Amino acid sequence: MDLGGCLTPSLDGAVVLDVEVQPGSSRQGVTGYNEWRARLTVAVRAEAKQGQANQALVHVLASQFGLETGQIEVRTGFRSKQKSLRITNATHTEILERIRLLLEAIQ
């Protein structure tokens, strides 16, 4: 599984992470990797109403990646299940390793 497909380093040093969100889930956290779409799948309890799922997504990933919520922002896909997030103050390699550890823990 090539997890690097969901991560793109940007010119300003940030990392863009492509995710697929499952709002209204009974659990929260990273649930897997969609190889077809090259996206990390993340479940959140919040419903997709008035940006609640977007906020929950940022909080869940910040806690699982060991980052502050201000270091993650939704860049595209505000009204879609498929989103791109911009992560600052973490390198491509650091994020990739954190994703690998999270996916190993759920398997």
Model-wide pTM > 0.75: yes
Q: How do the domains of the chain map onto residue ranges?
A: 3-106
Cα distances from 30 to residues 47, 74, 100, 107, in angstroms, run: 17, 16, 11, 11
12-41 pLDDT, tens digit per residue, is 999 999 999 999 999 999 999 999 999 999
State the pLDDT at residue 1.
Answer: 66
Specify the fold of 3-106: Conserved Hypothetical Protein Mth637; Chain: A; (3.30.1200)
Residue 2: pLDDT band (50, 70, 90) is confident
